[in-house]
Chain A
C-alpha cells in the first residue's frame, strides 16, 4: 500500500516536471508578436542570413567611417615618384600603402575605401527610387484594375522588353554631363517596372482574397481597403526584391561607370570607374582590376544572400 502511494507520488512529480519543461521561455516569447517576429525566429538560425548581414554591416561601416579608415587622400599622387608606366613599374605595397599605388601613383587602398561610399549611395538610392516608383505604379494598377491596370502594365511591358543594362546605358547617355546622379537615375528607372509588376500581381491576388471581401462586406472605404488591407499584405515579396535589387544596382552602376557613363570626377573614386581605368593595363597589372572587382562581387553577394534568406524566412510555405 505504502509502496503504491510512493510510486504515485513519483509519477505526479514526473508529470509536474515534464509539464514545466514543455514551457520553453523562447517559445513563449516567439508566440507573441506578428509575422515579422515569426520571420525573425527563422532568420536567426539561418547561416546564409548571417553571412550576408556581416558582409553588409562591414561594408556599411567602412563607407560611413571611410574618412577615418583611409590612410591618405585618394586623389593625391603620393607615389608618383615610384610609378614609371613606360617601364611597367607601379608603386609596390609598402608601409602605409598596403596595396601599393595605382597607375597614377594614388593610394589604391584609400581609393577602395572611399569608393565604397559611392557604391553604397548608388545601391541605396537607386533601390529607393525604383521601389518608390514601382510602389506607385503597382498600387495604381493593382488597386484600380481595368483600364488603369492595362495602361500601366503595357508601359511596364515595354520597359521590361528592353534588356535592362541596355536601357540603363541609353538613359545614362541622355545626360550631357554624366555624374553619379545620372547613374542613379539610369539604374533606378530600369528597376521600376520590376517592382511595379511584382507588386501589381500581389495586389491583384489580395483583391480577390477573403479578408478583402470581408472588409468590403463591412463597408470599409476604398482607400483603407487599398492601404490597410491590400498593400501591407502585398509587400513582403517586394521587400525581398528590394534587397536583391541593391545588388543588381551596384553591379549595373559599376557597369555604367566602367563604360565611362559615370562620374567623371578624378577626386571621387568609384569602383566601376577604377575597374574601367584598370582595363587598359590589365595584362601588366591585373591586381588593379582584381581589387575593385572583388569588392563589387563581395558586396553584391552580401545583398543577394540577405535577400535570399529574407525570401525564405517570409515565405508562407515555411511558416510553422
Chain B
C-alpha cells in the first residue's frame, strides 16, 4: 500500500475581479515507503504549490485546495489544523530551496534543531542538545559542537542546507519533501547534498518527493518521475523509461535543451520555445499547444487525458500527438544520453 496517495489535487488562487487561477489541476500520484518520486517542471508549473498543498502550508486566505491527500490512510486535507501541526516535522517534513533564508537569522543553529526535538519527541534540553549534536554529525557537518553555537550567517551554503536537512530528519519522518534543495548551491555541494539525501532515504526507508527543474537530479535520485506542465501531470514514467523514450513533446524539449559536451563547437542550444505566459487554459485545449512543435488541430479543440503511452510499461502521457523515437529524426539515443552524463556527475 502506498504511504502517500495524492488524488485529484487541485489548488485555486482566487483573484479579485478575475477568474480564479488553477495553479494545480487534478494532480494524482502515489509514493511508496522508501521510494523517491520526482516532480519536474519549469518555474510556475505548480510543483512547489503541490508540495505546499500536501503540507497544508498555503495561506488559508485566497486559496482553495480540493482533492484528497491520503497519508497512511488519513486524509491530510481534512485533518484539524492542530493535528496537522503535530504531524508536520514528525511524520512528514520538508526541505526548502534557499538554505539561508530558511533559517532563522537571530537564533543559533543548536536552538533551531533542539526546538524540533523538544516539540515532537518531548526531549529535555540537555538530551535534545546531545541528539542535535548527533544529527549534525550524521548529516556530515564537521565539528558539530561548535556549529551548534553558531548562527546561520556563519555557516557555508552547503552546511546550512545540511543543518536544514538535520532539522527535517530529526524525528525520522516517513515522508520527506525536498523543494529544489540544491538550486542555491554550487555543483560539487549539490552532488554531496543529493548523496546525503539518497543515503538518508535508503537507511531509514523514508519516502522522498523530489521537486526540481534539474533533470540531472532526477536522473541521479528518482525512481519515478512526474513531469508537470501548467498544473497538470503531462508525463509519468520510471526514470529509465523517461530518459530512454520521452514521448511528451515538452519532456522531449526539456531533454533536448540540455547542452551536450560532445556536440560540435558552435552548435546552438535548443530551448523549449516560448514561456509559461503563452499557456492557454486546459479546459478545452492542451496548455502546451502554443509552444509545441508537434501541435495538431485537435490540440486546440480538446483537452488531452492522462492515458497509457504508446511505448513502455506503466508509462503515462497526456498528449494527442506524442513524439515517437522512430519519427522525424528523433532518436531514443538522444534522450538517453543525459542519464549517463548526469549519473556520472553524481
Contacts and interface: CB of A to CB of B under 8 A. Distances in A.
Nearest to B104: A211
Contacts of A213: 57, 96, 102
A35 B105 contact: yes
A28 interface: no
Contacts of B98: 210
Contacts of A232: 106-107
Contacts of A211: 101-105
B119 A221 contact: yes
A318 interface: no
Chain A interface, DSSP helix/strand/loop, else mixed: helix
B154 to A, nearest CB: 7
A228 interface: yes
B85 A221 contact: yes
Nearest to B88: A219
Interface in A193-224: 209-211, 213-221, 224
Nearest to A37: B151
A218 B113 CA distance: 10
A221 B89 CA distance: 11
A210 B119 contact: no
Interface residue tally on A, bucketed by range: 20 to 34
Contacts of B119: 218-221, 224
Given A217-B93, A219-B90, A209 B167 contact: no
A82 interface: no
A215 B104 contact: yes
A228 B101 CA distance: 16
A233 B167 contact: no
B164 interface: yes
Contacts of B120: 219
A34 interface: yes
A220 B89 contact: yes
Given A213-B102, A218-B116, A219-B90, 10 more contacts: A31-B154, A214-B103, A214-B167, A217-B55, A217-B93, A218-B167, A219-B120, A220-B116, A228-B115, A232-B107
Interface of A: 31-32, 34-35, 146, 209-211, 213-221, 224, 228-229, 232-233
20 contacts: A31-B154, A34-B151, A35-B105, A210-B96, A210-B102, A211-B104, A213-B57, A213-B96, A214-B94, A214-B167, A217-B57, A217-B93, A217-B94, A219-B87, A219-B89, A220-B115, A220-B116, A220-B119, A224-B115, A232-B106
The 7 A-B residue pairs with the shortest CB-CB distance in the complex, in nearest-first order: A219-B89, A219-B88, A218-B89, A210-B101, A217-B94, A214-B102, A211-B104
